[in-house]
Amino acid sequence: MLVVSAHSADFVWRAAGAIALHTRDGGEARIVSLSYGERGESGELWKQPGQTEENVKRVRHAEAETAATALGASFEAMDLGDYPLHVDDAAVDRLAELMRDFAPDVVLTHPDKDPFNPDHPVAYTATQQARLLTSGAVVSAGFRTAPPSEFLVFEPHQPDLCGFVPTVFVDITPVMDRKLEAMEAMGAQQYLRSYYTERAGHRANHARKVTGRPEIRQAEAFQRIIPNVVSAL
Ligand SMILES: [Zn+2]
């Protein structure tokens, strides 16, 4: 699993459960953060007198690493800067190269639209581009490829305003303790903890309605970008 996060905490709120399930079942999960969110998503850290951008990045890196470790995943940051996040051609190439080497079965990132955040759609575009440069087409490509991966976007903060329509619910009940631990590591954005704990409960309600399975207590929502293919219905 490859998770591309615009800022270094985004993966925690939106996909920590899915990541923890993937690694619990023996999968390898790699989190790539395009920036640290040092300017736009580190408000609490900037309240400290004498704060510097370099120190904010250091703290954010440590927090994200702790969170990723709690989920059994690895964390790496491309440090491209945030608000605004600029992903140039070289960075897209880097991401594509990483996808060719790692050959993920599933790629997760942000949705393509977010009226409240300038960077999240940039992460989508870069991930989409890199994935297309990696998977090529059905015919042989003139460049090195990796097998096509599943491609889903995780739930944004205000889903209805981002055109997000959930098509997949993941039952994260068995790993909710991992998600709570990962969220706990995000000292700079503690106010989001209760918000995303509640969200997991709401999505579980929806997942129970779909399946009739009362044991689902927490869930995460995702939207498929490409169809899933089955052998039979
Ligand atoms: Zn973000």
| pLDDT at 189 (0 to 100) | 77
The pLDDT value recorded for residue 111 is 98
Which superfamily, per CATH, for 2-224? LmbE-like (3.40.50.10320)
**Percentage of residues of the chain with pLDDT beyond 90:** 90
Ligand 1 centroid distance, CA of 40 (Å): 8
The domains of the chain are located at 2-224
The answer to whether 120 touches 152, Cβ cutoff 8 Å, is no
Residues 175, 177, 180, 181, Cα dihedral to 10°: -110
Read off the pLDDT of residues 23-78 as tens digits, 9 standing for 90 and up. 999 999 999 999 999 999 888 899 999 999 999 999 999 999 999 999 999 999 99
Average pLDDT, the chain: 95
Task: Work out the number of other CB atoms within 10 angstroms of the CB of residue 65.
Answer: 18
**Amino acid 36: pLDDT:** 97
Residue 45 · residue 23 · CB < 8 Å = no
- Cα torsion through 221, 226, 230, 232, rounded to 10: 100
Residues 6+ apart with CB under 8 A from 169: 203, 206, 207, 210, 219, 220, 221, 222
Predicted local distance difference test score (pLDDT) of residue 187: 82
What is the CA(133)–ligand 1 centre distance, in A? 24
Query: What order of strands is seen across the sheet that includes strand 30-33?
Result: 74-77, 30-33, 2-5, 106-109, 150-154, 219-224, 168-171
pTM comes to: 0.96
The residue whose two tokens read 């009739």 is 212
Residue 113 CA, ligand 1 centroid: distance in Å? 13
Residue with tokens 């009362």: 214
Q: Rounded to the nearest whole angstrom, what is the distance from the C-alpha of residue 37 to the centroid of ligand 1?
A: 7
**Alpha-carbon span 127 to 137, nearest angstrom:** 17
From the number of C-beta atoms within 10 Å of its C-beta (0-12, 13-18, 19+), residue 118 rates as: middle
| pLDDT, tens digit, 9 for 90 and up, residues 215-233 | 999 999 999 999 999 999 9
What pLDDT, on a 0 to 100 scale, did the predictor assign at position 104? 97
Confidence band for 191, pLDDT divided at 50, 70 and 90: confident
Strands in the chain per DSSP E? 2-5, 30-33, 74-77, 106-109, 150-154, 168-171, 219-224
pLDDT value of position 174: 98
Residues with CB under 5 A from ligand 1 (ion): 6-7, 10
Supply the pLDDT for residue 140.
Answer: 66
pLDDT at 145 (0 to 100): 86
8 A C-beta contact, residue 189 and residue 48:
no
Task: Dump pLDDT digits (tens) for 131-182.
Answer: 999 986 556 677 788 889 999 999 999 999 999 999 999 999 999 999 999 9
CB distance 30 to 1 below 8 Å: yes
What are the distances in angstroms from CA 34 to CA 6, 39, 78, 218, 230? 5, 13, 5, 28, 33
- How large is the average pLDDT for residues 180-204? 92
205 to each of 19, 52, 168, 194, 197, how far by Cα in Å? 21, 43, 14, 17, 13
